């Protein structure tokens, strides 16, 4: 195969500055996907959906639509959705079916070639793919395919998947079989929106690690990363796409292709703790209600003698409401957020990021002066931001500062689409809560327990992905322990046996 570029029209502003990606101080998922088939113009719905899902990725945005002749036209660019799209390029995206994507890069470089949806040609016409998640075995697959003569124009694992699907479509007229054949070879957490000609599909990984839901919108049907899309488009949530399910959308109906395997789940706990909007429904549970329960559980497990509770905006707000309801300590907005400052993790060095914390948050002195303060947040990754927040609150006159966190200690990487991949950059690595409290200069620190979080979510522990807080993963990850395995060694032996069987099948 020669070196190829995506087919279809691709436009959008290129970056005007270098963005230096660094390890963030908050867990970053992130991507948001949407797919729509409607009797009306799809591009306006897709643009609105990306604005609604903007919290899931602020690096780039893209829309691909099927035109009258079923070719696919795309507009993609770096930046926020409202920076990429305007009335001119949206009017060029005329069609009744399409898919969209907002991206935070967890796999692949920060460049226009990696902006999604990716579009290629196939034996069945143009094909476009948008992806939330990570493919665990992407490097091995990519190396194997490059050795077979494949060439890639991007560094993202999304291109790997779309090329595998295109390759299957050469021999199969049935797109469902082609997709299923391609996905048999990949492992990881993913939610895809896929368009083949004018046909739109939503696909969720076999364990349901990454979220995807199905809804009715005016004039048609849609799939999206979060249910809030349907609410704000004037539609309604039908249900979650089930683990391993593939759903085809039409303007008048949808068709479900259930998972060929079954039963096991591993829903990402971080969606409930932090990623999803509080007004979303995730796997049948209200995210807002779960976060209230997390806050209540946190107050039971780690009570504090204090005068006021203040959330870190916006991520700690709902947890703080639950903490206050359970503890009886008054809640106040003690930190004011500047909503017009750049994200701290895209700045070029650590000093600049830490200085940016002060531009982003400022304590309200009248709230904290002379008070024993409890700061509530969803999680701590590196701890540098929390250190600055604690110091700011002390400088504003707090007599004591206690920190409570609505996620257990992060001790292990995520391999399924969250930008947390290096153990030695987690503040909790090899440290006790007392050690971490000293490092962030807090009088005390309390994390919710794993058991407490599971009870607050209301699922069985066996139905959640807790890899980053337990170091046990729901899929095969080289060098890591798989959940339900008694030891790492037994996992490695089992994996070796499976690889041997796979090799015999491939041959």
Q: Which residues are designated catalytic?
A: 31
Distance from C-alpha of 354 to C-alpha of 104, rounded to nearest angstrom: 21
Distance from C-alpha of 394 to C-alpha of 441, rounded to nearest angstrom: 10
Strands (E), 287-420: 308-311, 335-337, 361-363, 372-377, 400-405
Q: Phi and psi for 108 in degrees, rounded to 5? A: 100, 150
35 token code pair: 């797919």
Residues in the chain: 507
Cβ neighbour number for residue 264 with a 10 Å cutoff: 16
44 token code pair: 């306006």
> What are the Cα distances from residue 301, in Å, to 82, 410, 452, 504?
43, 18, 8, 51
> What are the Cα distances from residue 267, in Å, to 204, 207, 414?
11, 7, 13
- Whole-angstrom Cα Rg for the chain: 23
Distance from C-alpha of 450 to C-alpha of 454, rounded to nearest angstrom: 6
The answer to whether 320 touches 333, Cβ cutoff 8 Å, is: no
DSSP letter assigned to residue 225: S
Exposed, middle or buried: residue 322 (CB in 10 Å: 0-12, 13-18, 19+)? Answer: buried
Cβ neighbour number for residue 423 with a 10 Å cutoff: 14
The answer to whether 495 touches 485, Cβ cutoff 8 Å, is: no
Strands (E), 39-106: 60-66, 72-78, 97-103
Question: Is the alpha carbon torsion for 152, 154, 155, 157 positive or negative?
Answer: negative
Cβ neighbour number for residue 71 with a 10 Å cutoff: 18
Distance from C-alpha of 140 to C-alpha of 58, rounded to nearest angstrom: 29
258 token code pair: 């259930």
């Amino acid at each position: 195969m020669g070196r190829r570029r995506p087919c279809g029209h691709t436009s959008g502003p290129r970056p005007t500055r270098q963005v230096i990606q660094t390890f963030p101080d908050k867990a970053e998922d992130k991507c948001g996907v949407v797919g729509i088939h409607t009797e009306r113009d799809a591009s306006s719905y897709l643009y609105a959906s990306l604005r609604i899902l903007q919290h899931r990725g602020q690096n780039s945005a893209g829309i691909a639509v099927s035109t009258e002749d079923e070719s696919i036209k795309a507009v993609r660019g770096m930046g926020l959705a409202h920076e990429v799209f305007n009335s001119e390029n949206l009017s060029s995206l005329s069609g009744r079916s399409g898919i969209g994507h907002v991206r935070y890069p967890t796999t692949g470089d920060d460049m226009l070639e990696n902006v999604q949806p990716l579009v290629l040609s196939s034996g069945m016409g143009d094909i476009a793919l948008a992806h939330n998640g990570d493919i665990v075995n992407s490097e091995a697959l990519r190396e194997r395919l490059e050795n077979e003569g494949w060439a890639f124009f991007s560094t993202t694992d999304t291109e790997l998947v779309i090329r595998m699907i295109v390759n299957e479509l050469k021999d199969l007229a049935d797109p469902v079989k082609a997709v299923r054949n391609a996905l048999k070879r990949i492992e990881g957490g993913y939610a895809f929106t896929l368009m083949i000609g004018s046909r739109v599909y939503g696909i969720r990984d076999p364990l349901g690690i990454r979220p995807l839901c199905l809804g009715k919108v005016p004039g048609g049907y849609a799939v999206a990363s979060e249910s809030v899309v349907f609410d704000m488009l004037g539609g309604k949530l039908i249900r979650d796409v089930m683990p391993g399910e593939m759903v085809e959308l039409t303007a008048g109906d949808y068709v479900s292709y259930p998972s060929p395997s079954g039963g096991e789940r591993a829903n990402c706990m971080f969606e409930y703790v932090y990623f999803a909007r509080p007004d979303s429904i995730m796997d049948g549970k209200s995210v807002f209600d779960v976060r209230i329960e997390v806050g209540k559980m946190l107050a039971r497990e780690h009570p504090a003698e204090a005068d006021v509770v203040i959330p870190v905006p916006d991520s700690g707000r709902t947890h703080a409401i639950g903490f206050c309801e359970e503890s009886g300590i008054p809640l106040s907005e003690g930190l004011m957020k500047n909503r017009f400052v750049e994200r701290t993790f895209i700045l070029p060095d650590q000093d600049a990021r830490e200085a940016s914390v002060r531009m982003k948050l400022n304590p309200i002195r009248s709230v904290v002066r002379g008070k024993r303060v409890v700061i509530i947040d969803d999680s701590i990754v590196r701890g540098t931001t929390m250190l600055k927040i604690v110091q700011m609150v002390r400088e504003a006159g707090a007599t004591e500062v206690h920190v409570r966190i609505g996620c257990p200690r992060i001790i292990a990487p995520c391999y399924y689409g969250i930008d947390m991949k290096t153990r030695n950059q987690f503040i909790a690595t090899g440290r006790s809560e007392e050690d971490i409290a000293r490092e962030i200069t807090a009088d005390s620190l309390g994390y919710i327990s794993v058991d407490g979080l599971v009870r607050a979510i209301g699922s069985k522990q066996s139905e959640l992905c807790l890899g980053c807080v337990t170091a046990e993963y729901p899929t095969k990850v080289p060098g890591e322990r798989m959940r339900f395995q008694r030891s790492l060694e037994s996992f490695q032996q089992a994996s070796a046996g499976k690889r041997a069987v796979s090799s015999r099948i491939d041959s």
